[in-house]
Amino acid sequence: MLVACFFCIGAGAFSYLGFRKDTVGIHRIKPSAISQPAYVVLPEQAFTPADPKNSPSYQNIVQFKYYIDSLSKTAEGRRIVDSLSSRYPGVFDSLKLIDKVIGLP
């Protein structure tokens, strides 16, 4: 009986303190303004991508295309190009797509 009374008094006290609007001695946390990080790019800021023709990977693609073109001029080279085409079937399609999108020399 004593435990039940103690429980009821404790629950009532905590409920009263929890639902009171003006709590004494407890400072409420006030929200502050949300700041924007420096690394965020706003939509109104212009974004200009770098020229892909200046990248090292583009230069490697140009050199590979030149190598394939020079191989295609001889019978032995055509055999190598055919073996590359059979082993990696999408390579020459990718070169054609890059040529169409970026414009290889």
- pLDDT tier, 21 (very low <50, low <70, confident <90, very high otherwise): low
Does residue 28 surpass a pLDDT of 80?
no
Whether 87 has a pLDDT exceeding 90, the answer reads yes
Q: Compute the distance between CA of residue 105 and CA of residue 99 in angstroms, rounded to an integer.
A: 8
Question: Distance between alpha carbon 40 and the CA centroid of its chain, in Å?
Answer: 14
* Per-residue pLDDT at 60 exceeds 60: yes
- CA dihedral angle for residue 38, residue 41, residue 44, residue 48, rounded to 10 degrees: 130
Quote the pLDDT of residue 22.
56
Query: Residue 25: which pLDDT band, with cuts at 50, 70 and 90?
Result: low
